[in-house]
């Protein structure tokens, strides 16, 4: 079961808890971009990507949700 | 086979129409992946399965079914505001890719790549066969390492406090103090630049490719200091030790600069060649 990696200093992959921001860097700007059916037939992948990125850097008390103008009813999680 | 999957999707199976196919990665099926992947749980805790191409099963999509209502446009927009939901999906996505990556080379998909059903996914896999094979061959026996450089001017010990000397007016004392602070900042950034050059030199020596991510800031960037470099390197497995050692020590003896290495990652940042350039990863700086 142990990975046959030569680098024994490195912990086995699945047990590492990676920082969400490092993960999202990779999942949102890396990876193969293919046109999907369900989401992307409507929302372009770049739109999804940019929106996610905007979300990660900007949601806070000072910087409200980037969806504010699109979805006026954003009081649904009280913040 | 001429199935009419493009038009009537699961019309005759109402239960299935609630599910769509979420794709995590492309992998070579050489190592008999089916059994180990069947034990994995993906997004929404659904079991993971493989979708093979029409012509052969040399390449497979690693996929699972997700509830359609969560991945339609409106729902997705709502969900993306919900950091808990986003994190759950991201970690599930990553978990599947990591698990498969321990067995074979994977070509990760971007988050939330969804098809109406397995047949549609199969069509896409068929269509991309040449590209996928080429990328997988290039990524075989390579892993990705993340390298981040932070500057922390405040930890520099030789930053002198405001020395209230008697012969200076408060205004002059303040200005002198500000100037000293500024020069400490400048020297820390110069030191960070040197560390970055050492990291890049290690990359040129050991890495096959290099990608640049945006520097991290905002609510999720919890670490101390200011992130000034957030790069990824594609490193052959047998060079990882050297690369890691050199990069980790790039800021040795430098006050106020910290290097953080993350990994090994599946080659997320190198799944596709950089947009615009064919193979030249260097010299194309804007």
Chunked into runs of 10 residues, chain A (79 residues) has average pLDDT values of 40 61 85 74 49 50 42 38
Cβ distance B111 to A13 less than 8 Å, yes or no, reads no
* B96-B70-B50-A3 Cα dihedral, nearest 10 degrees: 0
Distance CA A62, CA B257 (A): 29
A54 interface with B at CB cutoff 8 Å = no
What integer best gives the mean pLDDT of chain B?
A: 84
The residues that bridge with B28 in the sheet, in sequence order, are B59
A37 interface with B at CB cutoff 8 Å = yes
In the structure, what pLDDT confidence band is assigned to residue B21 with cuts at 50, 70 and 90?
very high
Q: Check: CB of residue A37 under 8 Å from CB of residue B136.
A: no
Q: Is A75 exposed, middle or buried (0-12, 13-18, 19+ CB in 10 A)?
A: exposed
Query: Looking at residue B64, what DSSP letter applies?
Result: E
pLDDT tens by residue, B66-107: 999 888 877 887 787 778 888 899 999 999 999 999 999 999
Cβ contacts of B204 within 8 Å, gap of 6 or more: B282
Pick from A20, A53, A55: which is nearest to B81 by CB? Answer: A55
Q: Which two structure tokens, joined as six digits, stand for B37?
A: 């992947």
Chain A's closest residue to B242, CA to CA, is A7
- Of B161 and B80, the structure prediction assigns the larger pLDDT to B80
Q: What is the ipTM of this complex?
A: 0.80
pTM reported for the whole predicted model: 0.76
- Of B283 and B34, the structure prediction assigns the larger pLDDT to B34
User: What pLDDT is attached to residue B260?
Assistant: 94
DSSP string computed for B105-171: -EEEEEEEEEESSHHHHHHHHHHTHHHHHHHHHHHTTEEEEEEEEEE-GGG-TT-------TTS-HH
Q: Which two structure tokens, joined as six digits, stand for B185?
A: 């900042």
Q: Is B178 exposed, middle or buried (0-12, 13-18, 19+ CB in 10 A)?
A: exposed
């Amino acid at each position: 079961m142990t990975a046959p990696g030569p680098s024994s200093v490195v912990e086995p992959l699945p047990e590492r808890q990676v920082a969400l921001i490092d993960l999202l860097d990779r999942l949102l700007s890396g990876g193969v971009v293919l046109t999907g059916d369900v989401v992307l037939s409507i929302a372009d992948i770049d739109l999804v990507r940019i929106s996610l990125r905007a979300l990660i850097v900007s949601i806070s008390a000072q910087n409200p949700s980037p969806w504010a103008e699109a979805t006026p009813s954003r009081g649904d999680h009280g913040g | 086979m001429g199935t009419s999957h493009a038009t009537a999707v699961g019309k005759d199976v109402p239960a299935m129409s609630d599910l769509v196919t979420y794709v995590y990665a492309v992998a070579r099926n050489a190592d008999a992946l089916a059994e180990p992947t069947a034990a994995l749980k993906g997004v929404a805790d659904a079991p993971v399965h493989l979708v093979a191409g029409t012509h052969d099963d040399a390449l497979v999509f690693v996929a699972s079914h997700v509830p359609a209502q969560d991945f339609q446009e409106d729902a997705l927009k709502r969900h993306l505001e919900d950091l808990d939901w986003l994190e759950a999906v991201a970690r599930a996505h990553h978990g599947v890719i990591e698990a498969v990556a321990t067995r074979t080379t994977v070509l990760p998909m971007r988050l939330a790549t969804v098809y109406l059903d397995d047949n549609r996914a199969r069509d896409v896999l068929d269509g991309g066969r040449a590209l996928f094979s080429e990328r997988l061959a290039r990524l075989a026996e390579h892993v990705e390492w993340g390298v981040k450089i932070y500057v922390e001017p405040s930890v520099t010990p030789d930053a002198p406090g405001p020395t209230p000397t008697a012969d200076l007016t408060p205004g002059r004392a303040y200005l002198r103090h500000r100037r000293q602070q500024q020069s400490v900042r400048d020297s820390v950034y110069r030191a960070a630049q040197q560390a970055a050059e050492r990291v890049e030199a290690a990359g040129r020596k050991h890495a096959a490719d290099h990608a640049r991510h945006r520097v991290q800031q905002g609510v999720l960037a919890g670490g101390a200091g200011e992130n000034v470099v957030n790069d990824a390197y594609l490193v052959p497995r047998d060079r990882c030790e050297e690369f890691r050692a050199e990069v980790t020590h790039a800021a040795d003896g430098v006050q106020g600069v910290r290097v953080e290495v993350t990994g090994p990652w599946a080659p997320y940042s190198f799944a596709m060649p950089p947009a615009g350039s064919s193979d030249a990863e260097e010299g194309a700086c804007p």
